[in-house]
Amino acid sequence: MEGRDIGTAVFPDAEFKFFLNADVNVRAQRRFEELQAKGATITLPEVLEQLIERDRRDSGRELAPLKQARDAIVIDATKFSAKAVAEAMKAKIDAIINSGKGLKRA
């Protein structure tokens, strides 16, 4: 599951939590390309402005603000595709399970 407050508000006790980040300019370019593919008429500077405002708003909201869970694994996705990020997440989970530190079950 993904979302801006999943690891802190929705599932704070989840066994595995990831906090994905990426350079805002790269995020804007990716979003711009998605929107163009859907036929949207928006400029890259507009998309960038919207992302910056959304981050500011989400980080400052009172209820479930955007923040990294203290026990989240951080992945910088700036230079990676979605597939590469998923593979990195799986590798982190496998490493934790294989170390014996994960999946604490009764």
CATH code of 62's domain: 3.40.50.300
User: Which range of residues forms the domain containing residue 34?
Assistant: 6-99
Question: Residue 70: is its pLDDT beyond 70?
Answer: yes
Q: Is residue 105 part of a domain?
A: no
Tens of pLDDT, residues 8-62: 889 999 999 999 999 999 999 999 999 999 999 999 999 999 999 999 999 999 8
Q: Is residue 68 part of a domain?
A: yes
Q: Within 13 Å of residue 55, how many CA atoms lie on the same side as its CB?
A: 14
pTM to 2 decimal places:
0.82
Number of domains in the chain: 1
Please list, in sequence order, all residues whose beta carbon lies within 8 angstroms of the beta carbon of residue 3, skipping any fewer than 6 positions away.
Answer: 10
CB atoms under 10 Å from CB of 13, counted, come to: 7
How much is the pLDDT for 101?
74
Q: Is residue 57 part of a domain?
A: yes
Please give the residue that has the higher pLDDT: either 103 or 89: 89
CA 100 from chain center: how many Å?
26
Q: Is residue 59 part of a domain?
A: yes
Task: For residue 65, give the nearest of 74, 75, 55, 73 by alpha carbon.
Answer: 55
Q: Give the type of residue at 27.
A: R
